Amino acid sequence: MKYETVVGLEVHTELKTKSKIFCGCTTEFGGDQNTHVCPVCLGLPGCLPVLNKKVLDYAIKVGLALHCDILGFNKFDRKNYYYPDLPKNFQTSQYDLPICLNGYLDIEVGGKTRRIRITRIHMEEDAGKLVHSGSTISTSDSSNVDYNRTGVPLLEIVSEPDMRSGEEARAYVEKLRSILKYLDVSDVRMEEGSLRCDANISVRLVGDDKLGTKTEIKNMNSLSALQKGVEYEALRQAELVDDGGQVVQETRTWDDGKGMTLSMRKKEAENDYRYFPEPDLVPLTISDEQIEDARKTLPELPDAKMARFQDEYGLSNEDSRILTALRETADYLDATVKAGADAKGAANWMLGDLSKMVNEANITFKDAPVKPEQLAKMMALITKGTISGKIAKKVLASMWDTGKDPDVIVEEQGLVQITDTGAIEALVKQVIADNPKSVEDFKSGKGKAIGFLVGQVMKASKGKANPGMVNQMLKEELSK
């Protein structure tokens, strides 16, 4: 480990507003090309932007959740560059006075907590989409432009170069995604592009304070691509330096198919964005009162929830981390507990059978057909002894398939646990009579044989006998 990887991330997240940042066009996905456009987002001559208030509200929320300072005076600027997906050939963004500065985010990697500082968060407009006639941009003779996404609001969240590995970069984005989800301000789907991230990567000798020359890596469209991209690029740079070469400051693109980063040739002079204050928008002033009001609307965030799950519910660090990664999951647990269930028991069901079902269905806990109240009811049936834990698994599966309440399923399928001493005694006697070998084994001191006999009784009862009673009565009968 001669070299240390240094990573800073620029994350762009599309905000879940109904309309675009500067005009009233819908932000909905999936319209026909160039149908969600108007004179403003098409950049037609004479058109002017007006800020969507929701974008500002969301930006303040995100800033507070990431422990940022909210700037009492912030403004929009124009970032000037030519690209056909940018109809005005400038992007309305924020430059020297963005909405948020100086925040942080704690991540946990390998059991250790690391604090990643956040430099800034700013509001800006998204660009449109280019559809290439060939398979890639460079092999296409022409391209088609769709401006439906032009003007969808974005937050750009810029971190300090505080991450030291691909794994940390991944953990940072995962955590960021989780927080944005909690705030319900973005869909944060990397594959769909509603969350995108660019990485600034450099390497330096371990122990060095000075940063090495960085490259900017784009086009990492999934968490695994991000991790692989960072790892690949760090290795490429380390090898380059080892061979006596020098890292060139440039923009590179991650090619997921090839598993490598490739240089995007661009003339250096074109990186002069000529930022200046957007004359068509007026500055924003945000009062302390406004900030405090926004703070009150913040939901409980993953870190706080995780701490509470450990303190209040007695869950392990690992279990509470898993259960708080998604707001929907955490809310489900809280609701189940609220409905009267034991937290640990509910957590076990959620981490076990329910997680499997949720994952297989590719949904979140929020949309699970088994509602928290139903899970709590089912757990109560176990506690009351109406059903056994084993039967409960069956009941849960039926609940998932039918959406029915557990007591209805137990009733319909006749799954009520047999607690009638007489009935169990008859089964016990039968099993003892049918399995002389096992009885012999037990009596000669092989305690394990009792397990087999219990199993046989359970089987004979079609699983409905109360296992505790079976055990008890078997022992009594055998010791006679």
Distance between CA atoms of residues 336 and 333, nearest Å: 5
In the bound state with other proteins, the residue whose beta carbon lies nearer, of 88 and 305, is: 88
**263 sits near other proteins (criterion: CB under 8 A):** no
Using CB under 8 A, pick the residue from 10, 12, 34, 187 that binds other proteins. 34
> CB under 8 Å to 178, separation ≥6 — which residues?
302, 324, 325, 326, 327
Amino acid at 14: E
In whole angstroms, how close is the CB of 321 to other proteins at the nearest point?
Answer: 34
Run of H or E including 164: none
In the bound state with other proteins, the residue whose beta carbon lies nearer, of 144 and 297, is: 144
**280 sits near other proteins (criterion: CB under 8 A):** yes
**130 sits near other proteins (criterion: CB under 8 A):** yes
**47 sits near other proteins (criterion: CB under 8 A):** yes
- Determine contact, residues 45/14, Cβ cutoff 8 Å: no
- Determine contact, residues 308/300, Cβ cutoff 8 Å: yes
Residues in contact with other proteins, shown as a per-residue x/- string from 86 to 105 under the rule CB under 8 A: -xxxx---------------
Q: Which stretch binds other proteins (CB under 8 A): 29-37, 192-200, 412-420, 452-460?
A: 29-37
Residues 185-204 that bind other proteins (CB under 8 A): none
**366 sits near other proteins (criterion: CB under 8 A):** no
**131 sits near other proteins (criterion: CB under 8 A):** yes
- Determine contact, residues 208/4, Cβ cutoff 8 Å: yes
In the bound state with other proteins, the residue whose beta carbon lies nearer, of 144 and 316, is: 144
Alpha-helix residue ranges (DSSP H) falling in 259-388: 288-296, 302-313, 317-324, 327-338, 343-349, 355-361, 372-384
Using CB under 8 A, pick the residue from 205, 248, 249, 276 that binds other proteins. 276
In whole angstroms, how close is the CB of 218 to other proteins at the nearest point?
Answer: 15
> CB under 8 Å to 221, separation ≥6 — which residues?
190, 191, 193, 196, 256
**462 sits near other proteins (criterion: CB under 8 A):** no
Distance between CA atoms of residues 39 and 153, nearest Å: 17
Distance between CA atoms of residues 333 and 368, nearest Å: 12
Using CB under 8 A, pick the residue from 245, 259, 283, 340 that binds other proteins. 283
Distance between CA atoms of residues 394 and 413, nearest Å: 10
In the bound state with other proteins, the residue whose beta carbon lies nearer, of 223 and 294, is: 294
| Bridging pattern class, strands 90-93 and 77-80 | antiparallel
Residues 139-158 that bind other proteins (CB under 8 A): 140-147
Residue 244 has a CB neighbour count (10 Å cut-off) of 6
Q: Classify 249 as helix, strand or coil.
A: coil
Distance between CA atoms of residues 253 and 86, nearest Å: 20
Distance between CA atoms of residues 344 and 330, nearest Å: 13
**248 sits near other proteins (criterion: CB under 8 A):** no
In the bound state with other proteins, the residue whose beta carbon lies nearer, of 49 and 302, is: 49
In whole angstroms, how close is the CB of 46 to other proteins at the nearest point?
Answer: 4
Residue 369 has a CB neighbour count (10 Å cut-off) of 14
In the bound state with other proteins, the residue whose beta carbon lies nearer, of 51 and 291, is: 51
In whole angstroms, how close is the CB of 148 to other proteins at the nearest point?
Answer: 9
In whole angstroms, how close is the CB of 357 to other proteins at the nearest point?
Answer: 36
Using CB under 8 A, pick the residue from 13, 52, 221, 324 that binds other proteins. 52
> CB under 8 Å to 439, separation ≥6 — which residues?
432, 449, 453, 478
Phi, psi (5° rounding) for residue 78? Answer: -100, 135
Using CB under 8 A, pick the residue from 243, 272, 288, 289 that binds other proteins. 272
Distance between CA atoms of residues 122 and 433, nearest Å: 78
- Determine contact, residues 187/16, Cβ cutoff 8 Å: yes
In the bound state with other proteins, the residue whose beta carbon lies nearer, of 56 and 465, is: 56
Please give the radius of gyration of the chain, using alpha carbons only, rounded to the nearest integer: 30
Run of H or E including 181: helix 166-183
Number of residues that bind other proteins (CB under 8 A): 67
**253 sits near other proteins (criterion: CB under 8 A):** no
Q: Which stretch binds other proteins (CB under 8 A): 39-47, 59-67, 157-165, 329-337?
A: 39-47
**291 sits near other proteins (criterion: CB under 8 A):** no
**29 sits near other proteins (criterion: CB under 8 A):** no
In the bound state with other proteins, the residue whose beta carbon lies nearer, of 54 and 164, is: 54
In whole angstroms, how close is the CB of 18 to other proteins at the nearest point?
Answer: 5
| DSSP bridge pairs for 260 | 255
**44 sits near other proteins (criterion: CB under 8 A):** yes
Output the six-digit token pair for 16: 């879940």
**Which residues sit at the interface with other proteins, rule CB under 8 A?**
17-19, 23-26, 32-39, 42-56, 75, 78, 80, 82, 84, 87-90, 130-132, 137-138, 140-147, 267, 269-270, 272, 274-277, 279-285
